[in-house]
Structure formats: C-alpha cells, structure tokens
Structure 1
C-alpha cells in the first residue's frame, strides 16, 4: 500500500476504535487479521494471538474494555505518534482509565505495529508494559 493510503486507513481505524464503532472497525480489518499480544498479557485465556476480524473487533471494540476498565469512568486513548511508511504503521499511544478489578488508576503506554495490505489491516502486534498492567488490574503474578 502507498503511505498516504495506509495513513488514511489508520486514522479511520483509530477514530472507530475511540468510539467503539464496530462496523467501521470490521471494514478496516482484513477478514483474516492476526493480532499478536504481548507474551505476558493476561487477557481472558492468556492467549498470545487472536485471529479473524470478528474476534478482534469483539475484543478491541468492547469485550476487553468492559472486562478491564470501569466504563462508568473516563477512558482516554491518545495517539501520541503515528509513523507510516508504505504498508506499515507504527503507533505510540497512551491509555488512561480506571482498572475494573482494583479501582486503581491505569495509565500505560503502548506501541502497535500494523501491516496493511489491500486497503485493510492484516497484522497487528502490540507492545506494552504488562507488569504494570498486571499490578494495576490485579492479575495473578504467580501464574
């Protein structure tokens, strides 16, 4: 993909992500998209990948947010920097919310690497401080 096309796709994706617009999220993702989570993330079954647009949208577009954060309180997703070249986008972002299980403030930095092709996101890899997340969210660190 051309750089401008990838940037437009990523801007559309993040606009949909911040409003939980699941229809637009589905349009932005390749039907066979793969999301590689940090190896030490404890999302539900402690899986290290999710695949398929429907599964990814259900997770990112609501399920993970509802399981992890107190949705009665503000949730702020801030894109700090987006670097795009051809079909690759690297996005540094900050997520601030209140952890649902503990009531603690959650303020973590993320880096996502996206591979885009044919006008859609085909691969996404997430990097974040999972030890911080575990502490704030009350995950069992002895697992």
Structure 2
C-alpha cells in the first residue's frame, strides 16, 4: 500500500473513533500488533498482540471511564509505511475528573494492517487522573 492508502486507513479509523467507535481501528490492527505506551508510569510499556491490547490496555482503561471515550484527530502525516496522527481524547472518569489527553500516535502499517503503534501523551495527566495499571 502507498503512503496515501495508509493515511486513508487511519483517517477512516479516527473518523469513527471521533464518534466513540474504536472498532475500525481494532479491525485494522494485525493480530500480532504491538502497542507501545511511552513514559515512565504503570501504563507505560508494550502490549503485544491484538488480544493483549484489548484485554490488558483498552479494557482496564475503559473501565475507568464514565461515558464514551472519543479521540478526535487534527493532523495526519504519512511517509512510506508510517502514519503520524495528532489527536485529542475526551472523556470523564468514574471519579469525576476529566481525562482529555493530547496524543501523538506513530503507526507502522504493513499490507493494509497496523503492525506497530507508539503512543506519546501527557504522562503527568495519566498519573494525576488514572488509577495505576495492575500487571
């Protein structure tokens, strides 16, 4: 796939996520995807495989939210097999705090599937608002 095709794949997935529907992003992931969360807190590290991403990252994260999480992209930059996406998340937590984090995701796409995701965000907001991730 071309850089334009890879960019379109992520634009489509984030258009859905902006409405709270993460299913297109999950569907675009390869079964052996690796999602790496940057920083130095309990949420930081790599989650290997789509099942681990769902169970060990997205499941515990979603359990802290009171309502539907949305992620609205503002910029897509694509070169070869890499697509960079700037986005703004929005949701209230069950503790009543807002978790409106800003992100920069770096995706590596291979043969129409997301193989790698590297997530950069405000780690201080994570530490202040989210409960620690048990591993």
Would the TM-score normalized by the shorter structure come out above 0.5?
A: yes
Cα deviation digits, residues 87-131 of structure 1 (max 9, x gap) = 11000000111122x311222110000011111111110001111
Matches within 5 A, 1:1-143: 1-17=1-17, 18-21=20-23, 24-43=24-43, 48-58=45-55, 63-71=59-67, 75-100=69-94, 102-137=95-130, 139=132
Q: What is the TM-score normalised by the length of structure 2?
A: 0.81
Partner Cα separation in structure 1 for residue 86 and residue 61 of structure 2:
19
Q: 1:16 to 1:55 in 2, by over 3 A?
A: farther
TM, length-normalised to structure 1: 0.77
- Secondary structure at the aligned position of 1:132 is classed as helix
| Alignment gaps of 5+ in structure 2 | none
Q: Deviations over 1:60-102 (max 9, x none)?
A: 6x5144223112xx533210111111211000000111122x3
Question: How big is the alpha-carbon RMSD for the aligned residues of Structure 1 and Structure 2?
Answer: 2.4
The 1:79/1:41 distance shift into structure 2, 3 A limit, reads farther
For 2:130 and 2:66, the matched residues in 1 are separated by: 11
CA deviation map 1:32-61 (0-9, x unaligned): 111111232433xxx61101122224456x
Q: Following TM superposition, where does structure 1 have runs of at least 4 consecutive aligned residues deviating by more than 3 angstroms? A: 15-18, 24-27, 57-60
Q: Whose Rg is larger?
A: 1
- Paired residues in the alignment total 131
> How far apart are the structure 2 equivalents of 1:139 and 1:30?
27
Distance 1:26 1:80, change over 3 A: closer
